[in-house]
Amino acid sequence: MRRNYRHQHFGSLALLIHPMTNPISHHISDLTQIFDGLFCEAYNTRLIKGEHEPIYLPENADTPYNQVVFAHGFYASALHEIAHWLVAGERRRELEDYGYWYCPDGRSAEQQHEFEKVEIKPQAIEWALSAAAGFDFNVSVDNLNGEQTCRFSFQKRVQAQVFELLEKGFNIRTEELLKALSDFYKTPWPLTAAQFDWQCPEEFLDAV
């Protein structure tokens, strides 16, 4: 799913989650090796650095494997696109961009609410991947030129989804990748709710 990586923060309202006190070096080559090592053979899928907008491309006559294409070498973009792949079921993984139509930046408030509904689970998984990798996570509403909605309310819904996934369990692919990232980056395992203990400032709740 496309996401604008030219704008990672929102000024004073940047939603940076639990900045790491002991920074870990994050290299795309490591993430690519981990992802491909798990999924290239089992799911015929590779993580690909793109030069333009991120997209998912199923295998075709020109490329005999599925491609999770992320933007411009950004680690955050890779995690976001991986999260969408982890959410997608077998049938959707046969379709370009999982068969979704992307409504670009500039959405109305109603369109934005629909966009956020689709984004809650992928961003919850992205947050989990970030925690397993020891990487700072930023929730994204990706609508800088459209009608503004409350980013903090959206993040509360993403957080609630994380807690639900921790309680009920991740799917097999997600669990495999989370464990592999935790092993590689030497982060706490298993993931716990305490790693996602974000509190929304009351004065910002429902703010635009």
Report whether pLDDT(14) > 60: no
**132 or 147: which carries more pLDDT confidence?**
132
Least confident piece of the model among 2-16, 36-50, 181-195: 2-16
Domain boundaries, the chain: 24-200
Check residue 5 and give its pLDDT.
38
In a 10 Å sphere around its CB, with 0-12 CB exposed, 13-18 middle and 19+ buried, how is residue 30 labelled? middle
**Average pLDDT for residues 75-87, to the nearest whole number?**
98
CA angle 93, 97, 98 (to 5 degrees): 40
Mean pLDDT of the chain: 84
Q: Residue 108 contacts by C-beta under 8 Å, 6 or more apart in sequence?
A: 146, 147
Report whether pLDDT(136) > 80: yes
**153 or 84: which carries more pLDDT confidence?**
84
Residue in the block written with tokens 């494997």: 65
Nearest C-alpha neighbor of 66 from the set 80, 81, 52: 81
